[in-house]
Chain A
């Protein structure tokens, strides 16, 4: 068992995770969900909480939540109940948040993860998963001495996932969260972007002597906006607990706010402001019913999890671990790789091209892989042409780029752009230029430095912009250089 605080204590961690669901519109109205829109532009009577407006459930959000619940091996409740969580806050327009309370969408799930690469598998139990709406944002730094409210986020759909206190170190918490993020991104349930707030994590922390079975007083830690800050904050907080226990002080049950700049956690609110949320069933919404058929459809459609895919790429295609990990990092990339690999005999070559040229193109064009419009068979054809020596690697790359840009076939591109290996008279010109332009190197070659042949080939390739047939160029160069 890993212990983080000291060897005499173990750390107990449970997480409360908020995931923004990947929907086009909000949880209870048709307003757009959009990060970074000008303040208060994606709003309507419903998400503004205007008098008389009523919520209507976004079916897509429920489907995504069901997918998440199934992926986390939860018991899904076909009937669940929305509830109002009542509290006053300027960015909470109705004075209550529509959430779920005593009858959530799903309970009693689990997710396995590896604490370290190649290490053993640990299981974290999922206590519950429920659907709710987000609040707006209070902006404290926009205007001097005033708080501004942006309600674009009000009503954005979320799921809250609560784990059991099964994690035993900050590193494990980080690793678990990584696995969860990977799963939810893969399901396209959420972008899981911590910086944009589509993945938010609060942690409950306590420590106890190793071998103990009772839980000690816990604190809640908030405001960790990256995985590394999460690990840091939990390490800090666990150490604080240990030092309190050592000096025989009591750990106070409170909420701590992590300050990433000063790398310390400070108490957020005192006991006197303990909230009584006065939950009660939301009377504006009927019981949420999920039909068996929906569950079957979504359950059947659950994709292979990325870690399963990674292993399969190693087993079935003989890829190195690194390739398998990179290719399985997104569904689009993995699907493209598999499509290319199916059409070409060399899976490793397919991997090289997808990891190299495809990702480079995505990067250069600032487009996600799925929007590059890569035709897998076309790419396989290019790979084949290079393998057969009909295209140089450089020429193949140019052909592939043109294919992406124009959507044309390899054949058409090669013809229209004249991207073919050149030989004969055309090649002779480049060979002549390479030799005439570098008399010193010619001298040295003829003096016995035969390894300079590679230099001359490089010259020819550059002058030909990659079009020269390398084999033919090599032959022609040798002939010329040997001929005195």
Chain B
């Protein structure tokens, strides 16, 4: 683990600008740290592929030259960033953690990756994930699990477990994940970092390998709220290649930071603090809320009555879309093709049988069933209706004057590897507090609010759709409140 990248983006950029640190040195230390993390026993397993130093020679030289001259440079100039392996890159393979795409290299780059490069970022590697982002522990990867850097016997969460672990282990200051039902926020919570899911449509999905198209959104993982805001500013904004991206101005998110929680109305929904919630998680969250209140926020208990239907509705919608999105992996054009099959149907069966893991198959079967003639209305239709009800719950709360909503990110701290892998329903309940933001298309962020049994606990804030600025402001206020509390205790 390299100390040089423990600091956040701002400190790193100051070091680069003042030439105390050169881009090539930084890159070398990052690559060494990644190699070191995988040489450890047990290996961290955060990355599925990593660039070679020589791959970035030109970019690094250009950056060092610009920095030397004091040129105006991009907001992420020289900053190493890890990218979840379901986001297309031309420089590295994009496997989605699946054997069916093993070795697949995309011939085009995702919009977010282009924007990263344009901002001067160094894309250093692709991070591990649950296969096609389906899972909450990164144990479903076709290429082995990622471990939690804070306790190698525990999972980092998922599906963006590799990205969260890479940031938490100090290998990179920033990473991109994707969040369909909590896949950025839940691993952020388990690993003690910040994870943001933007409003649906805020960030282009072009080049994000689709899991559930109406729920997927790419988001930043970072060491602090300010860095997450910086990364969001780089990747956000309309994209003509994604018709679901929204043509709204992208505010300078950092400018809204630093204001403190005074005057903020924070809604706390009682449905997110059920009786069976881990008492230590509940207590940690309660104390964060108190802290905010003492700093001038108005805390208001609210009700989001349809919360209980969120997980089933989420799985009806997400699996249906997934069953269609994953139809293209048929062995005809790219990726795995099982050999020896004698007919087209046999090619499909053999390829998909061998290439997909258990969880992916389970979801394809469930989703196919939910769209079938005679069942569509009962399953997919119901899922969509509940989705509307959940969105309306939030609209009412915000209309009543609530600025942001606070909840625990996950009902537990990081669990042990293997603990839930054979119990899909228990695994699905890891997402119970996060799926609602995806269903309602809202921005939501997880930030560390304390610890329980030595493991981090994440608090989640949800904001009005496309008001990431206020959400980030509230998140930073909470981050500072919790930080001050910790230093007082320390």
Contacts and interface: CB of A to CB of B under 8 A. Distances in A.
Nearest to B210: A52
B273 interface: no
Given A50-B334, A286-B244, A280 B213 contact: no
A95 B327 contact: yes
B324 interface: yes
Please report whether the interface of chain B is mostly helix, strand, loop or mixed according to DSSP: loop
B340 interface: no
Please report whether the interface of chain A is mostly helix, strand, loop or mixed according to DSSP: loop
A280 B324 contact: yes
A280 B214 CA distance: 12
Interface residues on A, range: 20 to 34
B108 A280 contact: no
A276 B108 contact: no
Given A48-B333, A147-B344, A56 B107 contact: no
Contacts of A51: 88, 94, 96, 101, 104, 106, 209-210, 328
B371 interface: yes
B244 A284 contact: yes
A55 B333 contact: no
Contacts of A48: 333
Contacts, number: 100
Interface in B299-344: 320-321, 323-324, 326-328, 330, 332-334, 344
B373 interface: yes
A251 B368 CA distance: 32
Contacts of A86: 323-324, 327, 371
Contact of A278 (B106, B333, B372): B372
A278 B101 CA distance: 25
B328 to A, nearest CB: 5
Nearest to A277: B373
B241 A95 contact: no
A54 interface: yes
A84 B324 contact: yes
A247 B180 CA distance: 60
A339 interface: no
A423 interface: no
Nearest to A46: B241
Contacts of B398: none
B207 interface: yes
Interface residues of B, number: 44
A286 B203 CA distance: 16
A458 interface: no
Contacts of B428: none
Nearest to B205: A54
A54 B373 CA distance: 26
B243 A56 contact: yes
Nearest to A278: B371
Contacts of B368: 278
Contacts of A90: 330, 332, 344
Contacts of A283: 212-214, 244, 321
Interface of A: 45, 48-57, 84, 86, 88, 90, 93-96, 147, 149, 276, 278-280, 283-286
Interface of B: 86-88, 94, 96, 101, 104, 106-108, 110, 205-210, 212-214, 240-244, 320-321, 323-324, 326-328, 330, 332-334, 344, 348, 368, 371-373, 376, 380
Given A93-B328, A149-B332, 6 more contacts: A51-B209, A52-B206, A52-B209, A54-B241, A86-B324, A86-B327
28 contacts: A45-B107, A48-B333, A50-B107, A50-B108, A50-B334, A51-B94, A51-B96, A52-B86, A52-B87, A52-B106, A54-B205, A54-B241, A56-B243, A57-B243, A84-B324, A86-B327, A88-B348, A94-B328, A95-B326, A96-B324, A96-B327, A276-B373, A278-B323, A278-B324, A278-B368, A280-B320, A280-B324, A284-B243
